[in-house]
Structure 1
Amino acid sequence: FDKLGCTTTISDILSFSDHLFNSILPKLPHPINSIFIVLYATTLYKMYISI
């Protein structure tokens, strides 16, 4: 999973998101959950702008 390069395809991002929300997030405490989702959304937003 390459965050910085343009080699990351939409399907890569989607499958990573799936893995993230199904596997990692449920194990985190709720406040961290919310913060992480905001950070992740912001990162995706910046990635789309920079392409």
Structure 2
Amino acid sequence: MSGVDAFPGKGKVAHCDKEKFDLKKELARVTRERDILKKALGYFAKQKE
């Protein structure tokens, strides 16, 4: 790849790249929420015993 072709475009993120970034960000957030809920479920399950 020559120096001219190394960074195509004008520095703007393509729509599909932005959507991909946003989806990855949302997935990380939802995964954190799921993990918190799993820990809370384990905590409250122990409290019943």
What TM-score range do you get, normalising by the shorter chain?
A: 0.3 to 0.5
- The normalised TM-score by structure 1 is 0.44
Q: Provide TM-score, normalisation by structure 2.
A: 0.46
Bigger Rg, which one: 2
Structure number with higher relative contact order (C-alpha < 8 Å, ≥ 6 residues apart): 1
